[in-house]
């Protein structure tokens, strides 16, 4: 029965039911990326990004909470280490085998036009990431960003 209490609150009051003062856990302050939605009664984390990891001092894991604690199970339990995931090969396949040359150009232009207003370190990181998917992708994106900045468009230089 206990599992259904929080599920019922989420259904009736919304995802932010723990922010409502009568439901709020006063002894434990949680820092997470959940925001917006009905019953949001706090500052909604301002303009902070709601994804992890981010470069803007978002909530981090508490190492104490990540320690293993023994419990009884049947069968085999393991931890999944996501540190060595391949996040680039599918993008490279999409770039090389799916997109036509004119589609690649449009994709680079769209991504580049959205990166214009970001801080320089984010643009550099994006170019590096797209370059890991395919070196040509990274080069074209960098060339587009350079051409946009040379055409007088103000780019953030922070």
Residue 156 located in a structural domain: no
Structural domain count, the chain: 2
Nearest to 116 by CA among 157, 88, 59, 84: 157
pLDDT computed for residue 38 by the predictor: 75
- Is the CB of residue 119 less than 8 Å from the CB of residue 156? yes
Work out the pLDDT band at 74, boundaries 50, 70, 90: confident
Task: Domain of residue 125: give its range.
Answer: 89-150
Do 95 and 117 belong to one domain? yes
Q: How far is 76 from 84, CA to CA, in rounded Å?
A: 22
Q: How many CB atoms lie within 10 A of CB 49?
A: 13
| 45 or 104: which leads in pLDDT | 104
pLDDT computed for residue 154 by the predictor: 58
Residue 42 located in a structural domain: yes
Work out the pLDDT band at 65, boundaries 50, 70, 90: low
pLDDT computed for residue 155 by the predictor: 59
Residue 157 located in a structural domain: no
Nearest to 122 by CA among 90, 156, 93: 156
Beta-carbon contacts of 29 under 8 Å, excluding residues fewer than 6 positions away, are: none
Do 52 and 3 belong to one domain? yes
Do 140 and 94 belong to one domain? yes
């Amino acid at each position: 029965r206990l599992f259904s209490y929080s599920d019922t609150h989420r259904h009736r009051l919304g995802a932010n039911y723990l922010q409502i003062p009568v439901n709020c856990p006063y002894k434990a302050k949680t820092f997470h990326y959940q925001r917006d939605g009905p019953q949001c009664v706090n500052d909604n984390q301002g303009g902070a990004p709601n994804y992890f990891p981010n470069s803007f001092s978002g909530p981090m894991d508490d190492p104490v909470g990540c320690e293993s604690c023994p419990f009884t199970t049947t069968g085999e339990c393991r931890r999944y280490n996501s540190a060595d995931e391949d996040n680039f090969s599918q993008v490279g396949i999409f770039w090389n085998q799916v997109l036509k040359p004119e589609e690649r150009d449009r994709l680079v232009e769209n991504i580049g036009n959205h990166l214009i207003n970001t801080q320089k370190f984010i643009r550099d990181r994006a170019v590096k990431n797209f370059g890991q998917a395919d070196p040509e992708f990274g080069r074209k994106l960098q060339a587009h960003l350079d051409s946009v900045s040379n055409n007088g468009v103000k780019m953030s230089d922070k």
